[in-house]
A and B are shown apart, each in its own frame.
Chain A
Amino acid sequence: MAPDGKPNAKQSVSNRSISRRSALRGLGAASLVGLAGCTGGSNNGDGGDGGGASGPDKITIGLQADMTGVLASYGYWHKRVLEGYVEELNANDGINGAEVELVVEDTATDSKQGVQAMRKLVQQEGADFVIGSQSSGVSIATNPLAKQLKVPYFPIGEAPSITGADGTRWTIRNNHSTNHAAILAVQYGLENLGKNWTIMYQDYAFGQQYTEWVKREVEGSGTVLTEIPVPVGTSDLNSYLNKVPDDTEVLFNALVGPSALNFLKQSADLGTSGARLGPIASVEGVDVSGLDAGADGAAYVTMLPRRLEEADNEYNRHLRDIARVDESDQVLNGGHYFVSYEALSWIKDAVTETGWSSESDNQAFIEWFETGPSVEQSNAYPQGKKMFRGTDHQAFMDMYIEEISGGKLTVAEHIEVSEPTFDAQSDLSAMSF
C-alpha cells in the first residue's frame, strides 16, 4: 500500500531531488521519509499545561457540552450552571486560592465530534479536568482518550458500561448509572403498581440497557409479559401501543424525544393498559404544562425534582440561583442539570483534600476517590448525600419518583439510598494509570 521508503530514514526531505517522471509518487515517498525522520521515539502526548510548577494559580475545567444535536437541552443547562458556579467560586477565593477557568466545547451530541472536543479541551485549552457529555456514546468514546491524555474525566452519560467494561482508571462518574435508576424504579413499581410488566423502549442503546436491567430486576418478583422496541425517530406510536397486553399492570417506557411525548398522549387516547413508569430522560427538557389530563399519573425515576416546591430547601434554592433558572425561558432539565455542578464540587474537594497542584498529582487525585469518600447535602451537593464506591469510581445517591399531575411534575416518593444498589462490574481501581 505505501510506496517504498528510502532505506536511510535519517535523510531530510530537502536532500531529495524530486524526479520529474513521477512527481506525486516521489512526494509520497518524501513525506514518508520525512515522517520517519520526525517520529523519533515520541510517546503518547500528555495533555494540558498544568499551570506551571509552583502550585496552580489557575485550574482549568473543561466541559464537553452537547450544545447542538439531540441532547442540546442538556448542554444548555450544564453550561449555564457551570458558568454560574465558576463565577461564584472565583468570587470566593477560587479553589484553594487558584482561579477557576471554564472552557466549553460542543460535541454536537456525536461521538466523533465529542472525542475531538475532548482533545481540544485538553491539548489546546489546557483543561486540567474534564466534565463529560450527557451522551453515553460520547462518554464511552472519550474514556480511553482520557486515559491516554492522563486527564481525570467525569462523564455524565448513564450507560452502565461507562464505569463497567468501558471504564478506565481515569473515569469518575458522580452521575447515577442506568441500572441504579432501573433497579429503584422496579422496586417502586413492584411495591406500588403491580407485578405484570410490559416494557416499551426506544430501539437503541439507551432503551435496550433499561430493558435489560428492568427485566433482570422484575424477574423473580413479577413477570415481564412482553418487550416492544420502537425504532428511533418514530412519531406515531399507535401500532406499538396496540401490542401492549391487556393484563399489563406496569407499562415501563424508556423512550426519548418525540416518541416519549407521543407515548403519553397516544397511550391515554388508546386507553392502553398499565401504569406508566420510566426514566426522567423521557421528559427532560420537555414542557409538560401543555399536556392534558391524559398524561396524569405517568411516573418517572429522577434524581432531583424539576420544581422548587417539591424539594424546597436552601441548597436547592442556591443551586437554582447559580443556574439562574428563573431568568431562563427554557424548560429546566431538573433531573440532571446539577450533575455537572456537583462534578465541579467533587473536583474542588479532591483538589483540596489531596493538595493537588499540577498534573503530577493526578494519580493522588484519582486515588482519593478510590477511598470511597461520601458527602452530606450542602450547597456544594444540593441534590443530597452521596457516596463513591472506590472499586468502580461510581457514585450512589437518593432518587425520586415524580408523577405528572395537572401539567406539573410532583414527587410521589423520595427513595433513600444508603448503600450501593448493584455490584461493581469492573475493578477500575486495579487498572493501570
Chain B
Amino acid sequence: MSTAVSTAGRTLKPRHAIWVLLLIAAAIVPFVAGEFGLFLGASILALGLYGASFDLLYGYTGLLSFGHSVFFGVGAYAATFAINDYAIGAITSLLIAFIITGIVAIGLGLIAVRVSSHGFVIVTILLALIAHLAASSLTGLTGGTDGLTVLVPMVNLPVLGEFTLFDPMFRYYFTLVVLVVSLFLMYRVTTSPVGLAYRMIRENEKRARLLGYNVTLYKLSAFMLSGAFAGLAGALSMYISGFVSASEFSLTVSGDAIIFTLIGGRGTLIGAVVGAALIELVANQVSELTDAYPLFIGVLLVTTVILEPEGLLGLLKRVKERVLSDDSAEQTESASSREVPGNE
C-alpha cells in the first residue's frame, strides 16, 4: 500500500507512549475483569475499530459521513452469509467482509464524493436510510429487525490450534489482535504520502487540486478503506454477539461512530478507541443508576464539542504542553487547527 514510509512507523517516539500504554492496559484487562467485563471489553474493542475506521475518513479527509452504519451492517451480513450459507471459516469470513464492504464503499463513494461537503452529509444519510429500510423489509434474507443468530465456527490458528469464540478470554484477545493489526495498517496509511494528501484535502481542497492531486480519487480511496475497516468491525461485532439484525444499519449506529471519534479526538485513530471505551463504560455504569443515560451521553457530547473540540486526546495534549512547556513534543497527527474546508 505505502511505499516511502516516514520513520514514524518504524521507531518508538515519546508520542507513541499513549499507544503503548493503552495496549498494555488492554492486554491486562482480562486479569482484572470479570466474565461480563471480558464481554464488554471485546464489544468495546470492536466498536473502537468501527470508530477508528470512521476517523480515517472524517479525521483525515474532513468528510463527515452519516452513513457509516451501512458499512458496519454490510460487513456483519457479508460475514454472516459466508458462515451460514457457504460454511466458510471464521478468519476467511472476516477477510470476505473486509473486501466486500470495500467494494460496496467504492460504489457508494462514487455517489457521495460527487457532491459538496454539506451535500455529502445528507447523501450519506439517504444511503443509510435506504439500507435500513431495505434490510428491515427483506426479512427472508436478513431476518429483518428480528435478526439472525449466527453460530461462528471454531477459529483455526496456525501452531496454536483451535479456539472457540464462546471462550470469553479467547474472544477478547482475538478482537484485540484484529483491532491492533487494523489500527497498525490504518496508521501506516495515514503516515504515508496518501495520508498526507488526505490531510491536504481536509485543510484546503482547492490547493490540493492546484498542486495536481486527483482529489476525487483520494476521497474515494479514503471512503473505500474506511468502509472496509468498518465492515471488518461489523463482522467482528457479529462474532462477539453471535447475532446480526437490520438495526446494524440504523442512523444511531452511524451516530455512534461520530460520538466515539469526537469524544476521543479526531484525526488520531486511537482517539476513537478511547472514545468508544469511555462512552460504553460510562453508559454501562450510568444505566445502572438511571434510565436517562442517553441524556448523559448527549450532554457529554455537547460539552465536548464546545469546550474541547479535539476530544480527550486534545485535552491530554494540552495538559502535556502545560506541564512540559519546553515544547519538545513534536507535531502530532492530531488536527491542531480547526480549519475545515468551507463550501466553496
Contact = CB atoms under 8 A, between A and B. Distances in A.
A232 B133 contact: yes
Contacts of B174: 35
Interface in B222-272: 237, 241-243, 245-247
A120 B283 CA distance: 13
Contact of B173 (A22, A31, A106, A232): A31
A123 B35 contact: yes
A159 interface: yes
A308 interface: no
Interface stretch (A185-193, A201-209, A245-253, A382-390): A201-209
Of residues A106, A161, A205, which shows the largest number of chain B Cβ atoms within 10 Å of its Cβ? A205
A31 B37 CA distance: 18
A39 interface: yes
Given A141-B245, A144-B242, A166-B149, A27 B177 contact: no
Given A28-B177, A141-B149, A204-B145, A5 B11 contact: no
A176 interface: no
A166 B151 CA distance: 12
Interface in B52-76: none
Interface in A125-140: 136-137, 140
A68 B291 contact: yes
Query: What interface size band does chain A fall in?
Result: 35 or more
Given A31-B173, A68-B291, A119-B39, A203 B136 contact: yes
A208 B136 CA distance: 11
Nearest to A47: B35
A123 B37 CA distance: 9
A1 B91 contact: yes
A112 B247 contact: yes
B39 A123 contact: yes
Contact of B147 (A13, A141, A148): A141
Contact of B177 (A9, A32, A44): A32
Contacts of B11: 20
Contact of B19 (A24, A106, A232): A24
B27 A36 contact: no
Interface in A181-230: 203-206, 208, 229
B259 to A, nearest CB: 14
B168 to A, nearest CB: 6
Interface in A35-72: 35-36, 38-39, 42-45, 47, 67-68
A143 B151 CA distance: 13
Contacts of B184: 24-25, 28
Contacts of A20: 11-12
A2 B158 CA distance: 9
Contacts of A110: 247
Given A112-B243, A141-B147, A205-B144, A38 B39 contact: no
Contact of B35 (A22, A23, A45, A137): A45
A145 B242 contact: yes
Nearest to B248: A112
Nearest to A32: B177
B282 interface: no
Contacts of A23: 12, 16, 20
A124 B36 contact: yes
Task: Report whether over half of chain A's contact residues are helix, strand or loop; otherwise say mixed.
Answer: helix
Contacts of A136: 146
A47 B176 CA distance: 24
Interface residues of B, number: 63
A4 B145 CA distance: 39
B167 interface: yes
A7 interface: yes
Interface string B31-45: 100111101100100
Interface in B283-314: 284, 287-288, 291, 293-294
A111 B242 CA distance: 11
B30 interface: yes
A115 interface: yes
B169 A39 contact: yes
A140 B244 CA distance: 11
Nearest to A31: B27
Nearest to A23: B12
B159 A123 contact: no
Nearest to A233: B133
Contact of B160 (A36, A137, A144): A36
Nearest to B174: A35
A137 B245 contact: yes
A30 interface: yes
B295 to A, nearest CB: 10
B10 interface: yes
A282 interface: no
A147 to B, nearest CB: 11
Given A35-B173, A111-B147, A7 B159 contact: yes
Given A42-B167, A148-B166, A232-B136, A31 B144 contact: no
B167 A39 contact: yes
A347 B173 CA distance: 37
B149 A27 contact: no
B177 A31 contact: yes
B72 to A, nearest CB: 11
Interface string A6-33: 0101000100000011111101101110
Contact of A67 (B37, B94, B173, B291): B291
Nearest to B172: A35
Given A2-B157, A23-B20, A231-B137, A111 B245 contact: yes
B268 to A, nearest CB: 15
A110 B257 CA distance: 17
Contacts of A25: 184
Contact of A208 (B10, B144, B242): B144
A294 interface: no
Contacts of A148: 166
A94 interface: no
Given A5-B159, A9-B159, 11 more contacts: A13-B27, A27-B23, A32-B173, A39-B167, A43-B167, A110-B247, A111-B147, A116-B40, A120-B40, A140-B147, A161-B146
15 contacts: A5-B158, A20-B12, A25-B184, A28-B177, A28-B181, A30-B27, A35-B169, A35-B174, A36-B160, A43-B167, A67-B291, A111-B245, A119-B35, A204-B144, A205-B145
List of 8 A-B pairs having minimum Cβ-Cβ separation, nearest first:
A35-B173, A123-B36, A205-B146, A67-B291, A124-B36, A141-B243, A123-B35, A205-B144
